[in-house]
Structure 1
Amino acid sequence: MTLLARATDESGLSRRLSALDRVVELGADRLDPAVLATAGALSGKAAERLRLGAEHTVVALAGTTGSGKSSLFNALVGVDVAATGLRRPVTSTAQAAVWNPDGAAPLLDWLGVKRRHHLGDEGADALSGLVLLDLPDVDSVQVDHRLEVDRLVKLVDLLVWVVDPQKYADSALHDRYLQPLRTHADITVVAFNQIDRVPPARRDEVLADLRGLLEREGLGGVPVLPVSARTSDGLPALRTRLADAVAAHEASVRRLNADLRALADELGPTCGPSATPAVERADRAAVVGALTEASGADAVALAVARTHRSRTRAATGWPMTRWLARVRPSAATRLGLPGARLSPGEAEDELVRTALPGPSAVQQARVDTALRNLVDRTTAGLPQPWPSVLTRAATGRRDQLPDLLDRAVAGADLGLGRRPRWWGVVRLLQNVLALVAVAGVGWLLGLFLLDWFRLPEPPLPDVDVWEWRIPVPTGMLLGGVLVGLVLGFLSARLGALGARRQAAKARKRIRARVEQVATDAVLEPVSAELSARSELCAAISQLRGRR
């Protein structure tokens, strides 16, 4: 295992980089684009820096105008590489000094540093493997100089901020760099240059003032080293600090860990203190109920009941009058409901649309209210962007809901294609009674014709009914008609009971299909966003090194 791989594994960087990739993946369309771009850039930077290995440690000397960066750079290198002078700015572009430059070229190419000074194979030097950069002034009047500093500050492994007695509290340095990089204390050193210009009696006071300033900025643990590039005071201590960083081969890993902590701090408000909520059962029921009403389930149930009653009359009524039930189309047929024209056993087709009117303004308002209440209660206490994200998830298919609801109704099994078995029994009885009545009419008609032509009449049988003696043909006529009408009336009452059951079943089946629409179009997207929030916040927590 290489030094870099071991350091990466021991620090948990691999796990945190996996969490970073998860943040980038889940952050699409959820996180602020600028923050997401930062996360994506950090992911790319980490992959590239780890690929380049830990054989070289990149240290940058950065500071304000006149702090003596270039002089300190020359003192550490041992030769005058960087130009120094009173004319500002002296350093116009970054330059590098490389101890043992073997294999450092790809790293310098990635850094974009073209000015390079190789110190040869001075492998015995404790600084072997060090890449020391001299950066332009952070407060340079040249914009491109400041942009160069900003770019390299994000890439180097260790930052040495060079300050001087006159400008150690300069806001250009503290407000723009030190304070925003308070999460990078592990890879930060402050070199108090030109300490020889401070009277010995005041040195402790000035250094204490600088340390207090850093502590208030969250950098209390950052080492402050008093040095002098002119007299070499404190230079060995700074060299030792750099040598330790080079020998540990961990500066690049520490830098990436610090970047991840900084990103986690930036993303922290996205999660907030609240735990991820879930869709409550009451909110789910409210959404399903509003969509069921908007689907026209009540109108469908009423049409199913009316159709069942009319079909009962058509199937079981008195044959002489039941044809009237077939003259007008049924309520189900007028609404184009599934099963209204189907033959038994024929399948439903969701592609066929009904003739139901769309949701009314009141029904649509109730749907909107249910969706709004769902989002409000689910996002209570959650920071942005979650209220906006969940609103988009809940209402993203709002315009498609009328069509989806119509499909749900069109594909529902409303039971209109089924005929109760007792209809056939009653129908047979009614036909028999009708034949009896017709036979009675024919018999009586025959007797009338015999009497008309003065022909002898055959004997006429009769039956006793209570106290009356009724001729058989008359009894056949009256019995067939009266019993048929009574049977039709009873069948109609029984059909009304069946109609109520059929309507209840139809509404239940429509609600089940509408519930699936609600799940697919509203509830599942909301739940998916809540799940994404939970995963995203867990990944952000892992960026800080927490499991």
Structure 2
Amino acid sequence: MTAVTDEGPGQVRGQVAGQGPGPERGRNPDEGSAPREGLPKDRGRPGRDWDDGLIARRAVSGAAPQEAPAAVPDDDVRPQVEAYVPSGSPLSPRLDALRELVGLSRARLDRTDLAEAGRVLDEAAARQRLSSRHTVVAIAGASGSGKSTLFNTLAGAQISEAGLRRPTTAAPIACSWTDGAAGLLDRLAIPGRLRRRPQQSGTGGDEALQGLVLVDLPDHDSAAAGHREQVDRVLALVDAVVWVVDPEKYADAALHERYLRPLAGHAEVTFVVLNQIDRLPGEAADQVLDDLRRLLDEDGMALGEHGEPGATVLSLSALTGDGVGELRELLGRFVQERTAATRRLSADVDAAAARLRPVYVAEGWPGLGERAREEFADRLAEAVGAAAAGQAAERAWRRNAGRACGTPWLRLWRWYESTRQPRGLDRTVFAAPPEEQLTARQRVEQAVRTVADDAADGLPGPWAQAVREAAVRGAQGLPEALDKLAARAGAEPGRDTDTDSDNGEPAEAAETAEPGGRTGAHRGRAAGRPPRPAWWPAAVLAQVAMTLLQIFGGLWLIGQIIGVLEPGLLTPALVMLAGIIGGPLVEWSCAAAARGPARRYGQEAERRLREAAAGCGRARVLDPVAAELVRYREVRERYVAVTEFSTTRG
């Protein structure tokens, strides 16, 4: 069944980690030969010896031989009937969801991760084309368990060879109670010479088993590797399986670890039969059966007791026929329900979904929250120096206010200072040192790594890698794009000004240089000339009036000194003093009034640069990352649809 073959026949899908398809852990040293005499060991549970004398030795040989096999023709080839998946079954949407899941995941997951899901889809498509009137049940067991004897007893004829020679069954043998199962047997690769009919088929007896296709498998612990490969191959294709165990090796680790434990999810299509109870005296059969149930429970296999769905466990003796009628009745009801194939495939889908769980189910709630987006924008703003640009814009506003509202003598002094600087220095744009440029690039890369880690936190490995790769691809060229967008955003309010157009003053490139990788000259140049408020003309007029008062008072005093005007120093001195004091007072008042607008202008410049950086980072990094997260949520929804009806059987 599903425990078999991930890669191909002979490899066990549910094997213990690190354990290959070679010799199984806990194998009896006498496997592949006739069971030894004496009390058995609980091979699957070390340290637990069955030495209480309750388990009897193997019955002595000499039982009555089985009657000769009936001469019956091979199975007829009949047209196959409708698909076995009912239209209203929850299996259909699960298969559709699994198919969509595989299609959406091919670009993100390795082919090995999707191999089992692809196999389930292929087997579903193959089984869907075949008969729904037939239920294929395999009889499997270890050497000496009596599975071939049970097969012959159910068929009512000596079809499968049974005896002391080991291994006895070398190839799968099929017995079909009705016609039309040829396609199913072709799928199992059972040749026509190994297809039989039960003894009752000629007379139409045993109506309860109509539709049953019983397959006797080679020993799963056979010394011949080819036999084990055939067991694994057929178990992956049948609708149900009857595991036949005997009192000596029912606890064998090879059975539990290689088959029963990995097939725990297939409990509803599993029968576990304790054979040879005729060898157990008194109440020993019940005690062994209870211990078998305990081992199955430890394997994680649900038991179908008290009306609950699960595996059917019973005891019988194929040699004496004790309990065979109960098994025949259970198989009859099981076959007439015609749901075994759907249940089997539902369990296969469950197993495939469980295997895919680590690559689809995230821990926590991964994604890009508002906090992560804001922190990313803050880091980009820091990398481009948005705060420093805002401070430079605020200083430019206040400096421009001082130039417009300052006294003429101060402006004249600034002009004189500018004439003393070397020609062309006022328009020089200083480039950032290489180490500062490197620092800015490192800050951008760190911001991208941080937001990618935040978005990928908790995601399964393949999807977390896809998110990080999307962020890295978007980060290529991000520092250069940030520079361009920041310059464009800063230049929008006004024209570029590297110097003071009024007096040729340099734009203080050196004082605004920041370690973010770009100099303040670039930021100040991008900020543009601040706009002038409406009250500035009045302030200029007031400053002109104060200047005129100074000039008028000065001329008046000069006229009195040279005798052109009548003497009277007090009045012209007061006029001149009013102009001298009023000029700085107007300048100070303008500076005080400019603080609020300057601060707002700086904040606006910082906001503009921050938004430009955030928009660039969003388009190049956050949007691709968000697209990968949306893709993951889409496949996660498909995965949930696959597992939604995992407890429902069609």
> Which amino acid in the other structure matches residue 608 of structure 2?
R
- For 2:338 and 2:616, locate their aligned partners in 1 and report how far apart those are by CA, in whole Å: 57
* Counterpart position of 1:414: 490
* 1:269 Cα deviation from its structure 2 partner: 6.0
Q: Secondary structure at the match of 2:169?
A: coil
Pairing 1:228–2:327 present: no
> Which amino acid in the other structure matches residue 37 of structure 1?
A
> Which amino acid in the other structure matches residue 322 of structure 2?
D
> Which amino acid in the other structure matches residue 538 of structure 1?
V
Pairing 1:509–2:585 present: no
* Counterpart position of 1:9: 88
* 1:252 Cα deviation from its structure 2 partner: 0.3
How many corresponding residue pairs?
A: 481
- CA shift in 2, pair 1:275/1:367, >3 Å: closer
Alpha-carbon contact 2:108-2:463 (below 8 Å) kept: yes
Alpha-carbon contact 1:288-1:514 (below 8 Å) kept: yes
Give the superposed CA RMSD. Answer: 5.1
* 1:410 Cα deviation from its structure 2 partner: 1.8
* 1:64 Cα deviation from its structure 2 partner: 0.6
* Counterpart position of 1:385: 460
Alpha-carbon contact 2:394-2:602 (below 8 Å) kept: yes
* 1:14 Cα deviation from its structure 2 partner: 1.9
- Higher deviation after alignment, 493-502 or 73-82: 493-502
Pairing 1:87–2:165 present: yes
Q: Secondary structure at the match of 1:236?
A: helix
Equivalent of 2:437, from 330, 337, 357? 357
Matches within 5 A, 1:347-496: 357-360=437-440, 363=443, 366-367=446-447, 370-371=450-451, 374=454, 379=457, 382=458, 385=460, 389-390=463-464, 393-394=467-468, 396-398=470-472, 400-401=474-475, 403-411=477-485, 413-416=489-492, 418-419=494-495, 467=556
- For 1:129 and 1:266, locate their aligned partners in 2 and report how far apart those are by CA, in whole Å: 33
* 1:181 Cα deviation from its structure 2 partner: 1.3
* Counterpart position of 1:208: 290
Equivalent of 1:256, from 336, 345, 348? 345
* 1:54 Cα deviation from its structure 2 partner: 1.4
Q: Secondary structure at the match of 1:61?
A: strand
Give CA deviations for 1:46-74 in whole Å, capped at 9, x if unaligned.
23222324122111111111112223223
* Counterpart position of 1:134: 216
- For 2:440 and 2:83, locate their aligned partners in 1 and report how far apart those are by CA, in whole Å: 70
Q: Secondary structure at the match of 1:132?
A: strand
- For 1:3 and 1:209, locate their aligned partners in 2 and report how far apart those are by CA, in whole Å: 40
- For 1:246 and 1:181, locate their aligned partners in 2 and report how far apart those are by CA, in whole Å: 20
* Counterpart position of 2:233: 151
Equivalent of 2:182, from 97, 100, 105? 105
- Higher deviation after alignment, 192-201 or 84-93: 192-201
* Counterpart position of 2:136: 58
- For 1:469 and 1:189, locate their aligned partners in 2 and report how far apart those are by CA, in whole Å: 127
Alpha-carbon contact 2:172-2:215 (below 8 Å) kept: yes
* 1:33 Cα deviation from its structure 2 partner: 6.0
- For 2:288 and 2:101, locate their aligned partners in 1 and report how far apart those are by CA, in whole Å: 43
- For 2:613 and 2:149, locate their aligned partners in 1 and report how far apart those are by CA, in whole Å: 76
- CA shift in 2, pair 1:112/1:302, >3 Å: farther
Give CA deviations for 1:327-367 in whole Å, capped at 9, x if unaligned.
56857x7779xxxxxxxxxxxxxxxxxxx935447625752
* Counterpart position of 1:290: 379
Matches within 5 A, 1:231-246: 231-246=320-335
- For 1:369 and 1:226, locate their aligned partners in 2 and report how far apart those are by CA, in whole Å: 63
Give CA deviations for 1:402-450 in whole Å, capped at 9, x if unaligned.
5124224424533357458879xx99xx9xxxxxxxxxxxxxxxxxxxx
Alpha-carbon contact 1:27-1:536 (below 8 Å) kept: no
Pairing 1:197–2:279 present: yes
* 1:525 Cα deviation from its structure 2 partner: 5.1
* 1:105 Cα deviation from its structure 2 partner: 3.0
Alpha-carbon contact 1:304-1:416 (below 8 Å) kept: no
In structure 2, runs of 5+ residues without a counterpart are 1-80, 305-310, 496-529, 541-551, 560-582
- For 1:307 and 1:516, locate their aligned partners in 2 and report how far apart those are by CA, in whole Å: 26
Identity of aligned residues (%): 34
Alpha-carbon contact 1:309-1:495 (below 8 Å) kept: yes
- CA shift in 2, pair 1:32/1:225, >3 Å: farther
Alpha-carbon contact 1:359-1:402 (below 8 Å) kept: no
* Counterpart position of 1:448: none
- CA shift in 2, pair 1:43/1:506, >3 Å: farther
Q: Secondary structure at the match of 2:84?
A: helix
- CA shift in 2, pair 1:156/1:528, >3 Å: same
- CA shift in 2, pair 1:291/1:421, >3 Å: closer
* 1:216 Cα deviation from its structure 2 partner: 3.3
> Which amino acid in the other structure matches residue 491 of structure 2?
G
Alpha-carbon contact 1:394-1:525 (below 8 Å) kept: no
- For 1:203 and 1:416, locate their aligned partners in 2 and report how far apart those are by CA, in whole Å: 93
* Counterpart position of 1:442: none
* 1:533 Cα deviation from its structure 2 partner: 7.5
In structure 1, runs of 5+ residues without a counterpart are 337-355, 431-462, 471-484
- CA shift in 2, pair 1:519/1:43, >3 Å: farther
Q: Secondary structure at the match of 2:368?
A: coil
* Counterpart position of 2:151: 73
Give the TM-score, by structure 2 length.
Answer: 0.59
- CA shift in 2, pair 1:292/1:37, >3 Å: farther
* 1:146 Cα deviation from its structure 2 partner: 1.7
Give the TM-score, by structure 1 length.
Answer: 0.69
**Higher fraction of helix:** 1
* Counterpart position of 2:575: none
